[in-house]
Amino acid sequence: MSTPADVISLASPAPRFAFIRGLRLGDLPLIPIAILSGIAFVAIFANQLAPHNPEIGSLAARFKPPFWEAGGSTKYLLGTDQLGRDVLSRLIFGARVSMIVGFTAVIFAGILGTALGILSGYLGGWVDQVIMRLTDTWLALPALMFAIFLAAIAGPSMWNIVIILGITYWTRYARVIRGEVLSLKEREFVRLAIVAGCSKLTIMRRHILPNIINSAIVIGTLMLGVVIITEATLSFLGVGVPPPEPAWGLMLSDGKQSLMVGRWWLTIFPGCCIMLMVLSANVLGDWLRVKFDPQLRQL
Amino acid sequence: MKGYIIRRLGYCLLSLFLLSLTIFFFVRVTGDPATLLVEPGASAADIAAIHHQFGLDQPLWVQYALFMASLLSGDLGQSFYYRMPVLELYLARLPNSLMLAVVAMSFSLLIGIPSGIMASVRVGRFWDSAGKVFALLGLSLPSFWVGLVMILVFSVYLGWLPSSGSGTPWHLIMPAFALGWYFAASHMRLTRSSMLEVLGSEYVKLARLKGLPQSLVIAKHAFKNALIPVLTLAGINLVIMVNVAVVVEVVFAWPGIGRLLYEGIAFRDFPVVQGVVLMGGTMIVVVNMVIDILYAVIDPRIRLEK
Amino acid sequence: MPSAPLLELENLSTHYVSAQGTRVVRAVDEVSLRIHAGETLGIVGESGSGKSTLALTILRVLPPAAHIVSGRMMFEGEDLLTKSDEEMRQVRGRRIAMILQDPMASLNPLFTIGNQVAEPIRVHEGAPRAAAWSRARELLRSVRIPSPETRVKQYPHEMSGGRRQRIVGAIGMSCEPRLLIADEPTTSLDLTIQAQYLKLLRDLQRTHGLALIFITHNLGIVAKMCDQLAVMYAGRVVESGPVSRIFNAPAHPYTEALLNSIPRMSDDRQRLTAIDGQPPDLAKLPAGCAFAPRCPRAFDRCLQAAPPELALGDGRTARCWLAAPALGTAAAADLRREAV
């Protein structure tokens, strides 16, 4: 006599990470992965890698250009800013800020968005209506404006920014996840589970959730770039991660002051870092989306 | 058609209601709203006065009613810094942002649409790959950084263009380009996919079977059909542009509503911040509705059906 | 003595190649056909048999993944495959026209009927706008659309399905082509409208001396409309010849099965006869006859070697080893021994 659990496990769909088995090294987008890993590495070992203290500078060494220009020195490889702080060290510690804020915000938004998407899609009815109306309204307001508004209210702190970014971007997940859940609901194994008497919560947790994790990961990777840019923008405007934490956006804001006198290194280097990280995240996200799609549709 | 319009109107009103609710909610959830609503450096008596004026000691729904009442009568509060009604400030700056957005939108369409068409007609070859790279760069470069780099190149090194302020068309070029850059990539992608879809349609196949030259097939049959979704997106994006121009306006010191928002934050002038966000959100919701309705009017299929 | 055919296809093959070059789909495989002026040739087959690809091949309007790999297409004495793009463009719509299956999808929703009917006239004959539109109104009248003056200014979605298909027919006839290819033109029409439309096509054919290639999966229409018939399976023509003779005595088991599967009022049978199995994957065709796996009369030879096109006399051909005994050759004698 088989128990409902046996019946259900027989009918479950293909294992989630099956695609990994067929993967060869040449398939992977190596450059983006290398860049992101590099940034992560730098972020983790910032203390060991940075030649100077990013927060304290020597006023005697203000505005030094990068070492290959006249007036530069190898002591400050990429130059110094208006307070004599080493640009390279600030970039390295800035990586830490970007990584932490970026990943945490993406995960936070992901958890919130996925949970609401599942609830909305699976439970339907008024829950669905309410969540969808909320999503529509949220999406109507440009994320940047919303984030600025919240940042202005909440006051500066790194964790506030993470929360704000999470609140701003959960809707991107919710929409897509809800759509997937709607089609998953019709599948055999879900119906079997219902018939076997599983509670709604169990079904959502054990059957729906594992199957939409793939989508959530793809969305998350694509959101990483957007989140980083938004964080940089907030920092640039002065409502992001507060000083003296060296956020790349903040470095750009500082650099703007002396742009007109040609101190290009204060603008170019932080911007390039942002660009590299976002580009890598976008390329990786695109690749993941193409790779995961066949799995998702289970054709 | 009538039913369509009424439904759109309904959604619009619902969204506006939710928008005001959201803003109301967030202002109150992060602590005593009085601290936001008073000028920096106010005394305890001032704070008490604010409490009374905004009814902060009253139940929430009363507060919301008061809030909505003042909104609907056009009162968005008074700016601390400028000592003027926020609405007046906003409307004074709005034309500048609109002008910037219109020029930026023109740039983005002038760049995005032709490159999207080229990418779709030459799928898999040079133009398509170039287009993909362009799209990726558009998404990955923050607009303000593009602006900063442009200042570096065109103002500092080449000295061709002014780096800030407004007044002449020369002042407009760089900020418009920086603002339009991201959207150009988005328009290019949509044009490309829309063209591809149209090029695979039966009526394009029939046009070729009729013996029409390829240029006519693309210019007449494919183009007009493919453009519909792109123009719809452009309309929506225009309003979004106005509102996200904040950073570009800051970089180039352009006197629009984005700069106003920045000033509001820098000077801790909360009524201005709230006012800009409310107006921005309202503008977007209303324009979306108008576009939806216009769409119905223009597309002969919908117009003659309902 | 038979006159020269208007269009003659000799060993025509069109293959689709996948992006990586790994998968080759033989959509049209060694097809030979001919049609004379004023004649109606029916091309019959299941979905995926290659009929539509064949039509698109003749007009060389194929997607980029498709390549015409071999053969000749002789139209009025010229090989269409040797023509340049510009020369081919002048053939399309003007000397050979084609109508597609779904009239709603074939007409551009954003342009008026008049615009779309007048268009080929303006492009091919350089006619000025007024003259072209006047011709357009005449054409609409000739396809029996009432009040053409008002219709000309209307949009496609304002018409019913039957009217739209007539308009597509009018577009096809606009430059007085010698050959009209109709790819399942009645499939998306109601049955009652179908009959009217077929009558219209026949009348047009008579008035203009048009040759008509009629692609369909419906043998009933073939019986009513066509003089000649070609049956396609897996990209190949498996049987061809005059319609009445094929219907009386089909030479290929596939044709026979198709004819048997048509339900008839006089039937005593309780169940419909379907053909067992599935059409083959055109990228992985078997070494022998493509129909052999499903053929009730297949024998060893069928699975080993694909039969060539055999001429059976009387203007008929068949690709079947069973037809070989009728030729009385020594090779056929071998076959008879193997079959036993």
pLDDT 10s digits, A142-160 = 888 888 888 888 777 888 8
- Residues of chain C found within 8 Å of residue B203, distances taken between Cβ atoms: 105-109
Out of C93, C107, C109, the one facing B301 most closely (by C-beta) is: C109
Q: Which pair of structure tokens corresponds to residue C136?
A: 């357009």
Task: Tell me the average pLDDT across A272-280.
Answer: 90
Asked whether at least 3 C-beta pairs link C and A within 8 Å, the reply is no
Closest CA to B202 of C56, C199, A68, C196: C56
CA distance B31 to chain C (A): 56
Q: Whose structure tokens read 């309003």? A: B239
Centroid of chain to Cα B303: 28
Structure tokens at B94: 């709005």
Q: Does C256 touch chain B (CB under 8 A)?
A: no
Interchain proximity A275–B140, CB inside 8 Å: yes
Largest CA distance in chain B: 83
**Over pLDDT 70: what percentage of chain B?**
90
Q: Nearest chain B residue to A259 by CA: give it.
A: B152
Mean predicted confidence (pLDDT) in A36-62: 82
pLDDT above 50 for A6 = no
Q: Is the pLDDT of residue B164 over 90?
A: no
Asked if B251 and A256 come within 8 Å (Cβ–Cβ), the reply is: yes
Nearest to B202 among C102, C123, C155 (CB): C102
- Chain B residues in contact with C119 by the CB 8 A cut-off are 210, 212
pLDDT-derived band at B102 (thresholds 50, 70, 90) equals: very high
The helices-and-strands tally (H runs, E runs) of chain C is 13, 12
Query: Judged by CB atoms within 8 Å, which residues 162-201 of B form the interface with A?
Result: 163
Amino acid at B168: T
B203 with C93: Cβ contact below 8 A:
no
Closest CA to A168 of A116, A227, A111: A227
Do chain C and B touch: 3 or more Cβ pairs under 8 angstroms? yes
Please count the CA atoms within 13 angstroms of the CA of C161 that sit on its side-chain side: 13
Q: How far apart, in Å, are the Cα atoms of B227 and each of B106, B214, B289?
A: 15, 18, 20
Long-range contacts of C74-81 (CB under 8 A, 24+ apart): C74/C5, C74/C7, C74/C8, C74/C9, C74/C10, C75/C6, C75/C7, C75/C8, C75/C179, C76/C6, C76/C178, C77/C4
Determine the average pLDDT of the residues in B7-35.
78
The arithmetic mean of pLDDT across residues A61-82, rounded, is: 80
Residue in chain B closest to C106 (alpha carbons) equals B203
Task: Judge whether C171 is closer than 8 Å to chain B, CB to CB.
Answer: yes
Q: Which of B202, B225, B305 sits opposite C106 (nearest CB)?
A: B202
**Residue C28 bridge partners (DSSP):** C14
**Could A145 and B280 be called an inter-chain contact, meaning their C-beta atoms sit closer than 8 Å?**
yes
Burial class (CB in 10 A: 0-12, 13-18, 19+), C168: buried
Q: Which residue of A has its CA nearest to B157?
A: A262
A251 in contact with B at a CB cutoff of 8 Å?
no
Looking at residue C267, what is its pLDDT? 64
Q: Tell me, what's the pLDDT at C158?
A: 86
* Contact present, B155 and B162 (Cβ < 8 Å): yes
Bridge partners, C17 (sequence order): C24
Beta carbons of C45 and C232 less than 8 angstroms apart: yes
Determine, for residues B209 and C107 on separate chains, whether the beta-carbon distance falls below 8 Å: no
Ranking A10-14, A132-136, B199-203, C27-31 by mean pLDDT, the lowest is A10-14
Q: Work out the minimum CA distance from B207 to partner chain A, whole angstroms.
A: 33
Q: What is the pLDDT of residue A23?
A: 53
CA-closest candidate to residue A248, choices A90, A101, A37: A90
Write the residue in B15, B137, B144 that is nearest to A233 by C-beta.
Answer: B144
Q: Which chain A residue is nearest to residue B18, measuring alpha carbons?
A: A137
Q: How far is B12 from chain C (nearest CA, A)?
A: 29
- For the ranges A10-19, A119-128, B183-192, the maximum mean pLDDT occurs at B183-192
For chain B positions 27-56, those within 8 Å of chain A (CB to CB) are 27, 30, 36
Q: Are B108 and B118 in contact (CB under 8 A)?
A: no
Q: Quote the pLDDT of residue A193.
A: 82
Q: Which of A1-15, A89-103, B178-192, C33-47 is the least confident region?
A: A1-15
Q: Which of B14, B24, B143, B145 is the best mutation test for A, with the most CBs of A within 10 A?
A: B145
> How big is chain B by its Cα radius of gyration, in Å?
24
A247–chain B Cβ distance below 8 A for any pair: no
Q: Which of B204, B210, B218 to mutate to test the interface with C (most CBs of C within 10 A)?
A: B210
Average confidence (pLDDT) over B75-98: 85
How far apart are alpha carbons B130 and B132 in whole angstroms? 5
> Among C64, C93, C155, whose Cβ lies nearest the Cβ of B210?
C93
* Chain A residue closest in CA terms to B27: A153
Interchain pair A142, B277: CB under 8 A = no
Contact by Cβ (8 Å): A141, B284:
yes
Using CB atoms, which chains have 3+ pairs under 8 A with B?
A, C
Residue linked to tokens 């090194």: B157
Determine, for residues B156 and A141 on separate chains, whether the beta-carbon distance falls below 8 Å: no
List the 263-302 stretch of B: residues with Cβ below 8 A of A: 264-266, 270, 273-274, 276-277, 280-281, 284-285, 288
What is the predicted ipTM?
0.81
A137 to B30: CB separation less than 8 angstroms, yes or no: no
Contact B273 A145 (CB under 8 A): no
CB C152 within 8 A of CB C137: yes
Tell me the mean pLDDT in the region A277-293.
83
B251 in contact with A, Cβ within 8 Å: yes
Query: Tokens 């692609």 label which residue?
Result: C215
For chain C positions 261-290, those within 8 Å of chain B (CB to CB) are none
Average pLDDT over residues A35-55: 84
Question: Does residue B142 surpass a pLDDT of 80?
Answer: yes
pLDDT band at B298 (very low <50, low <70, confident <90, very high): low
The answer to whether the Cβ–Cβ distance between B23 and A239 falls below 8 Å is: no
Whether C93 sits inside 8 A of B212 (CB atoms) is yes
Query: What CA–CA distance (Å, rounded) separates A77 from C113?
Result: 71
CA distances (Å), C41 to each of B123, B278, C230, C320, in order?
Answer: 37, 70, 7, 21
Is 70 exceeded by the pLDDT of residue A104? yes
**Whether the Cβ atoms of residue A274 and residue B145 lie closer than 8 Å to each other:** yes
Cβ neighbours of B201 in C, within 8 Å = 105
Q: CA dihedral in degrees (B69, B73, B75, B76; nearest 10)?
A: 70
Q: How many CB atoms lie within 10 A of CB B154?
A: 17
Per-residue pLDDT of chain C (340 residues; tens, 9 = 90+): 457 889 999 999 999 888 777 788 888 988 999 999 889 999 998 888 888 899 999 999 988 888 899 999 999 888 999 989 889 998 998 899 999 988 888 898 888 899 999 999 998 888 899 999 999 998 898 888 888 888 898 888 888 888 888 899 899 888 889 999 999 988 888 888 888 888 888 888 888 888 999 999 888 889 888 999 999 998 899 999 999 999 988 888 888 888 887 776 666 666 667 777 777 887 788 888 888 888 888 888 888 888 888 888 888 888 888 877 655 454 444 544 444 4
